[in-house]
Structures are given as structure tokens and as C-alpha cells.
């Protein structure tokens, strides 16, 4: 297989490149050249936001292209139109954010999507930008040669958003840790490497259409995730499971200040952790255990000095230590008995 990856040096793109090389595929990467491309790839340099920035893609043909762009849809539109007729399949890594907020629990690929998106638009907001990217691909390649990968929460090595790296770093410091309950709260996410393998499988099987690409509901729980962080780091951290009401009353923002976590029984939880992924599972999605994702992410994080890269277009994640200490001190109930997950109200 001849694969073109637009980007290919960070998080999702990097995982796709490594998975493709592992299969013995012929991989070309196109990016601005700010970071070194993986050994074994052919590198093309250009800036798709600049005039003439796609010149390096003027020639060549590939079996598939993988595009992870998340800003102005115009960039996807121009790339897709340029590659039309020279690439057999266009895989666009989109997002479950394209669905009209807030989709109900169990929403599938036919759920309503955001309005106001256009394929050649400038940058607006994340949801419309991603939907505009989808429309750009469909406009150039049609429904039969397009794969729209609607990813949800993505975790794993190379993460540059700051969710799992923050939890690992915080737990590695040890001591009492504000653990947002309930510990049995079901999570939905996908390891970036499982995402990459599914994408390559979709190319090989010539799939098309939209797919919700995250683990089945309840693949892991909040307790399992944080306990895995304790094991991976080998720290003396004590998880203080704290009721959602206490966290919210303290003004702590779910998802951002306490990454991954959103309160149970809310529209936000249904939207982020309760999608129907049966279509992706039927098409070969396989998800590794949460302990493996956490341990491998910690190994990667320590191998680069303990500080994860941070995308400049994403907000920093994590809770201020002083806020955490105040909430823990004010929680009259203290930790759950023995710190055992599942005992929090």
C-alpha cells in the first residue's frame, strides 16, 4: 500500500505513520518540516495554509491519504481537490463533536450534525471546522471513496493535548489525589494506536462513510484509569474519591481541570462517553486494556523527560494544586474506605 499522511509527526498522524511502516507500507508524509519525520518515510515539505503551499503534492499517486486537519476547512478542501484522481481513498480524522450538541446517549452515525459548516470556509469553531472538513472530502471524493473517522477522546503515547499526561504527572507526585467520582463511572476513549490500526484496516478493506471511533461504552471506568496510573508510576498516591457534587460546588471545570472526567447523568457525559460504536466494532475496531494504554503512555512520557508536548491551539488541562488541596480539606467524608474504587456514592 502507498499511503500519504498529511502531517505525520504528532499524536494521531505519528501513530498512523508508525503503524503503516510496521505493516511494510510505502509511506509519504507532507508537513511543514518543523519536526523530523519517522525514519523510513518519504518527506514532502509545504504549508497548506500558505499560497503555493501544496506544490510538493502536485505530482504522485497513492492508495490512500490520511488527513487529521482541525482548523479552517478550506485547507482540507484544497488538499482533497488537488489529490482527486490521484488517490483512491481519502480518510479524514474528524470528531464526534460534529454532532448537534448534545447528542443523546447511544447516538449513532446518523445523528444530526451541526449546521452552518461549509467545505471552503475559514476557521470558526471546532465542531463546524471538523464538519466542514468532512464536507470538503465528500465534495472532492464522494461518499464511496471517503472515510470519516469521528473520533472521541483519544489517549496514548505522543498525546499533545494534556489529558492522560496530566493525570500521570499528578499521580506520580504522590500524596492525596482528588479523584472525581464515582470510581465506577464508565468511560469511552480510544488508544491512538488502536485508532491508527483501524484506519489502516479501513483502507485495506476499502471502507467508506462515517464511523464513531471510540471504545465500546464502559470499556474502562474512571477508577480503572486512575488505578492504572498509580500502578504505572509506582507512586504512593492515595486516590481520594470525591462526590461529583463536591467537585462542581467548588467551581472545578469537568473535562478541562479534571481531564477525561465529566459528571454522570449529564448531557455532557452522554455526549462524550456514551456513543454507539457498533459500526466501527463490526468493521474491525479492537481496543487494548486501559492498563496497557496508561503504562505505555507513562513509558513514553518518562523517555522524553516527563513533559508532554502541548498543542498551541488547545487549552492546558489540569487542576491547580491549591484548589485541589482546599477541596480535599473541605471534604468532611475524606477518602472512601481503604481507597477502594466503587465505594464512592
Question: Cβ(188)–Cβ(152) under 8 Å?
Answer: yes
At residue 113 the predicted structure's pLDDT band, cuts being 50, 70 and 90, is very high
pLDDT reading at 4 higher than 70? yes
Helices marked H in 192-266: 192-204, 222-233, 244-249
Alpha carbon 44 to its chain centroid, in Å, reads: 25
Between residues 137 and 315, which one has the greater pLDDT? Answer: 137
- 3-state secondary structure (DSSP) of residue 62: strand
Question: Cβ(77)–Cβ(136) under 8 Å?
Answer: yes
What mean pLDDT is predicted for residues 67-84? 97
State the CB neighbour count (10 A cutoff) for residue 88: 16
State the CB neighbour count (10 A cutoff) for residue 270: 18
At residue 345 the predicted structure's pLDDT band, cuts being 50, 70 and 90, is very low
- Encode burial over 286-318: b for 16+ CB neighbours within 10 A, e otherwise: ebbebbebbbbbbeebeeeeeebeeeeeeeebb
Per-residue pLDDT tens digits for 246-279:
999 999 999 999 999 999 999 999 999 999 999 9
Lowest mean pLDDT across 34-43, 168-177, 331-340: 331-340
**92 strand-pairing partners:** 67, 148
Backbone φ and ψ for 76, nearest 5 degrees, come out as -65, -40
Pairing of strands 186-187, 220-221: antiparallel
What mean pLDDT is predicted for residues 182-194? 98
pLDDT reading at 338 higher than 50? no
- Tell me how many degrees the CA angle 185-189-192 measures, rounded to the nearest 5: 150
Cell 504505572 belongs to 232
Q: Return the closest-CA partner of residue 193 out of 302, 306, 285.
A: 285
Helices marked H in the chain: 11-22, 73-83, 126-141, 164-173, 192-204, 222-233, 244-249, 267-273, 278-282, 290-303, 321-330
What mean pLDDT is predicted for residues 91-100? 98
Backbone φ and ψ for 180, nearest 5 degrees, come out as -75, 125
- Give the Cα separation of 218 and 221 in Å (integer): 6
Alpha carbon 277 to its chain centroid, in Å, reads: 15
- Give the Cα separation of 6 and 86 in Å (integer): 15
Helix count and strand count (H, E) for the chain: 11, 15
Mean pLDDT (the chain, rounded): 94
State the CB neighbour count (10 A cutoff) for residue 36: 8
At residue 313 the predicted structure's pLDDT band, cuts being 50, 70 and 90, is confident
Cell 449546521 belongs to 115
State the CB neighbour count (10 A cutoff) for residue 23: 13
What mean pLDDT is predicted for residues 328-340? 58
User: Could you tell me the CA-to-CA distances from 331 to 243, 279, 335 in Å, in that order?
Assistant: 9, 43, 9
State the CB neighbour count (10 A cutoff) for residue 141: 23
- Encode burial over 225-235: b for 16+ CB neighbours within 10 A, e otherwise: bbbbbbebbeb
What mean pLDDT is predicted for residues 200-212? 98
Question: Cβ(204)–Cβ(1) under 8 Å?
Answer: yes
- Give the Cα separation of 100 and 112 in Å (integer): 6
Amino acid at each position: 500500500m502507498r499511503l500519504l499522511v498529511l502531517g505525520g509527526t504528532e499524536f494521531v498522524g505519528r501513530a498512523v505513520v508508525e503503524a503503516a511502516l510496521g505493516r511494510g507500507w510505502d509511506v509519504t508524509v507532507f508537513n511543514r518540516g518543523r519536526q523530523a519525520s519517522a525514519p523510513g518515510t518519504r518527506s514532502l515539505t509545504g504549508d497548506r495554509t500558505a499560497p503555493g503551499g501544496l506544490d510538493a503534492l502536485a505530482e504522485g499517486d497513492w492508495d490512500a491519504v490520511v488527513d487529521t486537519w482541525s482548523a479552517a476547512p478550506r485547507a482540507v478542501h484544497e488538499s482533497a481537490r488537488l489529490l482527486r484522481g490521484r488517490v483512491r481513498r481519502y480518510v479524514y480524522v474528524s470528531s464526534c463533536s460534529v454532532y448537534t450538541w448534545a447528542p443523546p446517549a447511544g447516538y449513532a452515525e446518523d445523528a444530526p450534525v451541526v449546521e452552518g459548516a461549509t467545505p471552503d470556509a475559514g476557521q470558526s469553531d471546532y465542531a463546524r471546522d471538523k464538519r466542514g472538513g468532512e464536507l470538503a472530502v465528500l465534495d472532492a471524493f464522494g461518499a464511496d471513496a471517503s472515510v470519516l473517522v469521528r473520533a472521541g477522546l483519544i489517549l496514548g503515547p505522543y498525546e499533545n493535548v494534556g489529558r492522560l499526561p496530566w493525570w500521570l504527572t499528578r499521580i506520580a507526585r504522590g500524596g492525596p489525589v482528588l479523584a472525581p467520582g464515582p470510581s465506577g463511572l464508565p468511560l469511552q476513549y480510544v488508544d491512538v494506536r488502536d485508532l491508527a490500526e483501524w484506519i489502516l484496516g479501513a483502507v485495506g478493506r476499502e471502507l467508506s462513510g462515517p464511523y464513531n471511533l471510540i471504545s465500546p461504552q464502559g470499556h474502562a471506568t474512571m477508577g480503572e484509569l486512575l488505578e492504572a496510573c498509580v500502578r504505572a508510576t509506582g507512586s504512593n498516591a492515595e486516590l481520594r474519591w470525591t462526590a461529583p457534587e463536591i467537585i462542581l460546588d467548588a467551581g472545578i471545570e469537568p473535562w478541562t481541570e479534571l481531564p477525561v472526567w465529566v459528571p454522570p447523568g449529564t448531557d455532557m457525559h452522554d455526549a462524550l462517553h456514551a456513543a454507539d460504536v457498533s459500526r466501527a466494532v463490526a468493521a474491525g475496531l479492537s481496543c487494548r486494556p486501559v492498563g496497557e494504554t496508561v503504562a505505555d503512555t507513562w513509558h513514553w512520557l518518562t523517555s522524553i523527560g516527563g513533559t508532554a508536548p502541548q498543542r498551541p491551539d488547545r487549552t492546558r488541562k489540569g487542576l491547580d494544586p491549591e484548589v485541589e488541596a482546599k477541596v480535599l480539606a473541605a471534604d468532611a467524608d475524606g477518602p472512601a474506605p481503604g481507597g477502594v474504587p466503587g465505594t464512592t456514592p
